[in-house]
Chains A and B, each alone.
Chain A
């Protein structure tokens, strides 16, 4: 036994240099940490957000950066998993020492990293997550530019009567995003006199929904409200058609990429409704059409999938928001950036980005009020519905 311990020490000695020789990055650039799901269940969306963020990075650096320094994104893959998300934040704050973060796409991932933000005192701009809990939990390091499910449901309200919804069934992922959205929509629909039928859940990684769809069919509602990302939505639309589920499908949460649905679900996408937070088919309806145009042109120039436009803008806006804060703070330090975020005014694709206070007094989180759009697919084309 004793002899073997000698081996261990020797092994350590061999590996120690490898461990301690972590590469020192470019000193002069301001680092911005990004935690996105580049693999796993939300990989498509996470990659689009990362692509959007990189467009913003290049655009800002081409214009001379900020405070005379370039910015450098350090993008870590949180693998669509909350524990991995925590370890990306650990790495970004402790090893790369970034003063500010953007992430982490899904509500569950964002909620997972929030205690770490408080522990290390680093602010984070939330670009996608919709769960109400994020801004009401009393975490003063959270600044969300995306809308909450409640905002989205409220924006949807006028359409209940217009579409003639009588009885709605629900199908959503069993995570914070799905459950939060399902609850807010159900509340709003009930308040508007709509009967709520079955509420079916699914694992974010599931691919076969035949059992849920059979139940929904048996429930006999006229509308199905679905909350999930585009991957599962594609499969749900296809399988609903196979099972002859002839109801009005409305997808919420804004991660539905109608273009990708048209491409991948084909005819099954026709007659479906989607809430989006940026409509690239008619950018003129947004508050800052010139910003949207610039982003879209660059996206297409880079050959990115046009289906990702509705997702990539989140990353684009997120980075511009962070850079605005850096400019206002005059230095790239966490506490200064946190203070500066309260005052930013950014002309973004989400609309005019600014933060209002949400959550318990003294520990408020920042929340932006973006615009929400409803679109529908007919004959493989996206058209606008008044909201």
Chain B
């Protein structure tokens, strides 16, 4: 073989590898954004750091598992049901635990959410044991191939649904009456209340919406990976990283942050070290903090 040909071959190979990493990152970024948006909405509107976010994510995955595997419910129906149950669970958490703490400081609600998180995770462990479960999906097993790139139908579907849900959330926040109430509450809770916005309802709805998105993310990713009770921890830590990256409370920030994190992880583990994959998000947080402590898309907060 001529030396030149080998060179070109290697370069082509590494370009393929780069493109494959990029494609993986885009697909992954969609679900990260979905996780981040739910968390950032809840923080922005309610000023609650939601530690149960990861557990609602795991809940979505377990509902999916329970419906599809033992009960044999249609995959797509189960997906809708998982999201709906996630919304209900979110509303229940808000009404049960948070509605009474509306004027409490951020640390108090945080402690309550940590308590709820521990209780929920161990309930999952008790109900489903620590053994990993996997969910069958109805997609063709052969991946979609395009040159040297390939992606499974299941992941493509996940990306499509995640994008739809993100777009739907944008629409809801920016062009509906509910969205208007949300934005008003976000800007100034007291004024919004004076102008007739039912803050308690906005809170419940926000928490339910955020939880629905988390449950949807869990239900989407459960079939891609495996379902274990601790799956929520990693998801929650990623969601926190995304939200800090984007700036607490910013929906655009969470979306962009989701993709940035996905690219950082995929490229970092592809070209630096695969072991530090999960560290990328935190390293980004620390870098951001050094440069711009309030995140990339921070909303101006007045210090009074």
Contact = CB atoms under 8 A, between A and B. Distances in A.
Chains A and B touch (C-beta atoms under 8 A apart): yes
Interface of A: 38-40, 43-44, 47, 174, 200-203, 205-208, 210-212, 214-215, 217-218, 220, 231, 234-235, 238, 241-244, 264, 266-268
Contacts of A243: 20, 143, 150
A43 to B, nearest CB: 4
B151 A214 contact: no
Contacts of A201: 274-275
Contacts of A47: 129, 131
B228 to A, nearest CB: 8
Given A211-B270, A234-B134, A242 B275 contact: no
B163 interface: no
Given A202-B274, A267-B141, A242 B150 contact: yes
B21 to A, nearest CB: 6
B224 to A, nearest CB: 8
Q: Top 4 A-B pairs ranked by shortest CB distance?
A: A39-B130, A211-B269, A242-B152, A43-B130
A231 B143 contact: no
16 contacts: A39-B130, A40-B130, A40-B230, A44-B132, A201-B274, A202-B274, A208-B28, A210-B266, A214-B17, A218-B16, A234-B134, A241-B141, A243-B143, A264-B134, A266-B141, A268-B141
B13 interface: yes
Contacts of A235: 225-226
A231 B132 contact: yes
Contacts of B274: 200-202, 211-212, 215
A215 B226 contact: no
Interface in B106-131: 125, 129-131
Given A201-B274, A211-B266, A242-B155, A38 B130 contact: yes
A202 B274 CA distance: 7
A238 B155 CA distance: 12
Contacts of A231: 132, 226
A234 B225 CA distance: 9
B237 interface: no
B104 interface: no
Contacts of B151: 242
Contacts of B225: 207-208, 235
A217 B19 CA distance: 13
A244 B132 contact: no
Given A39-B125, A243-B20, A208 B277 contact: yes
B143 A242 contact: yes
A334 B13 CA distance: 60
Interface string B187-228: 000000000000000000000000000000000000001101
B280 to A, nearest CB: 11
Contact of A214 (B21, B125, B130, B134): B21
Contact of A218 (B14, B131, B266, B277): B14
A264 B132 CA distance: 11
B294 interface: no
B129 A43 contact: yes
B143 A211 contact: no
Contacts of B13: 218, 220
